[in-house]
Structure 1
Amino acid sequence: MIDRPLLLKFLHRSYQELYPETGFDHLRTTLNHYFTVDTPLWWVRTETEQVVGCLWLGNSVDQISGDRHSHIFLLYVMPEYRRQGLGSALMATAERYAKTKGDRQITLQVFTNNQTAQSFYQSLTYQPHAILMRKILP
């Protein structure tokens, strides 16, 4: 499947922007585990067919209600194509798709140090719902 290597490339780009010192070799395993025919993927292409953005949508279960819902695994637009409405268009596509599946919510994870992404999602009326906490063990 041609989408798999390209999706892996975009996963790497996304994480390396925030954490350039990390290799992220584990992303191939993550992709192999979660990327299926049931997890839709949308690409943004330029007029010359260059891929400049993507959105990968999966499934999750709400830990409070037990309801299955859509979960955004990845939204990525190449830096030189940002602030042109591409991310908003991808999010609108995901929301329409989720509604056709009967979902009542979409979730996503955003890193606390990614203020740009947090502001973007909040501009689309996404709000924090839970806090992922961690402790680095010595």
Structure 2
Amino acid sequence: MIRKATNQDVQFILSKAKEVANEAMLSKDAISQEQALQMALFTLEQKGYYLVYENKNRDIAGWVLVGENIDYITNQTHAFIYELYVLPKYRDLGIAKQLLQAAITESKLYGFKEIRLNVFANNFAKEIYNRIGFQDLQTIMYKKL
């Protein structure tokens, strides 16, 4: 079942903030717990919210953090997925896809015409996003000096 997170759910999710952020960046310690919390709390303060996937035992198996963002070139607002995470023991069960679909449905209900997300190029989740219909919008490139 997918539902909006309770305050207790949010506390559990935030306790995993460092782990989630570092996995998304394909790193072990690029982000501290404090930095990861700061990012999540900023989104929550800006009317973002978590949807959680609850299994039969009522345990949280995964979540998605959805909010609003603005394209500073077009000045258009859109829904944005800030975080998608499935706990390791619940992976490969289609939970990420269900959470993404729920985020898309919720965003439509709020009147958004577009939903975006950011993913690191080598992150395995990019394949899931492509299968659901997300397309590349821009590429950020870098060169170490």
Out of 48, 58, 62, the residue aligned to residue 49 of structure 1 is: 58
Code of the aligned partner of 1:15: A
What is the CA-CA distance between 1:77 and the residue it aligns to? 0.6
TM-score where L is the length of structure 1: 0.85
Aligned twin of 1:67: 76
Alignment of 1:24-103 (within 5 A): 24-25=32-33, 26-36=35-45, 38-103=47-112
Q: For 1:120 and 1:88, how far apart are their aligned partners in 2? A: 7
CA 1:32–1:83 in 2, change beyond 3 Å: closer, same or farther?
Answer: same
Aligned twin of 2:28: 20
Q: For 1:37 and 1:2, how far apart are their aligned partners in 2? A: 19
Q: For 2:9 and 2:140, how far apart are their aligned partners in 1? A: 30
Out of 110, 129, 132, the residue aligned to residue 121 of structure 1 is: 129
Q: How many residues align?
A: 136
TM-score where L is the length of structure 2: 0.82
Consecutive unaligned residues in structure 1, runs of 5 or more: none
The reply on whether 1:9 has 2:18 as its aligned counterpart is no
Consecutive unaligned residues in structure 2, runs of 5 or more: 1-6
Q: For 2:43 and 2:139, how far apart are their aligned partners in 1? A: 22
- Cα-Cα RMSD: 2.0
- Does the Cα contact within 8 Å between 2:53 and 2:63 map onto a contact in 1? yes
Aligned twin of 2:4: none
Identity of aligned residues (%): 24
The reply on whether 1:131 has 2:142 as its aligned counterpart is no
